[in-house]
Chain A
Amino acid sequence: MASEPVIDMERRLKAGREYHTALRRLGFDPDALLWAGVGGSDADGAMELLIVTTWADNIGPKAIYDLLFEAYDASATPKEIDPFIVSLFSPQSRVAIDLAAAVYTVRKEVHRADFTPMLVLGMMDYVTIPEWIISYRQPKSTRFDDARRFRAFQTNVEKLAA
């Protein structure tokens, strides 16, 4: 991953936080949301906004992506974040499991101002650092809850397009 100019990353973090707020306002509260560089150390600096959600398991990614595009078209989410750079993951995925382990380790470590740990997620595909993790919580949700919340999200997004 090429090094990121600080100003660009600050802008991305701001947009990521706004994206998180917008999704929550619409009724989608992800278990984790973070920026990550794609493709490990050899990639060209491309970045994605990763979302971990139990909805990936209980609803399926396609229906969620459909609504993320609708919300984007309705300007309900920040224009800087095209859903083509948003990636959804199940908490059962390698990326989410690696993220959970990394967050646990980082929280246990004594903070050192001179050291930023590089976190590699999922078969060397993604690289992140703790500062790029916008939100994280242990996923715990039932299929019933997810179905109900997803329907509310769908209704809210569809209202925007109407």
Chain B
Amino acid sequence: MVESKRAVALATVDSRLACREAWLASGFAVEFSLKALIIKRERLNAWPSKDARPDLYIHDLRGLFGAAGVDLKAAPKGLRGSLRAVLDWNRAHEYTSGRMSRANARSMVKAAFDEDGVIAWLASL
């Protein structure tokens, strides 16, 4: 799922018309990475039902970092700017129609997908 979002992000990030899709896909990829980390750390064999774990049915990345047991303040120094940038993501932005600049979208893609970005770091935990 992360890889399909990466493909969407890379395909749309340089488009004036569609760069918001890159921004959204990057945030979803971070959300999926965090949920994968929760599964790993809690030794679950599947994503729990909403009845069993309503606390995990959120799209707020700050909340998911907490649920995954990741202390943002303990993150590597060089990663903090990227971490802070991805925290700006909110699924609700999918429903807004305002213009987004390509620099803004590129910034989110870089923060999420760079070799030293948030997704690679989450995969290393």
Contacts and interface: CB of A to CB of B under 8 A. Distances in A.
Given A58-B101, A84-B84, 7 more contacts: A62-B81, A62-B108, A62-B111, A65-B80, A69-B81, A86-B84, A92-B99
Interface string A77-95: 0000011101110101110
A62 B85 contact: yes
Interface in A89-142: 90, 92-94, 97, 123, 125
Contacts of B110: 60, 62
Interface residues of A, number: 27
Q: Closest 10 CB pairs between A and B?
A: A60-B107, A66-B81, A57-B101, A65-B81, A62-B85, A62-B107, A65-B84, A60-B103, A62-B111, A69-B80
A59 interface: yes
A73 interface: yes
A57 B84 contact: no
Nearest to A88: B88
B85 A61 contact: yes
Interface residues of B, number: 25
Contacts of A60: 101, 103-104, 106-108, 110
Contacts of B96: 94
A82 B84 CA distance: 11
Contact of A93 (B83, B98, B107, B108): B98
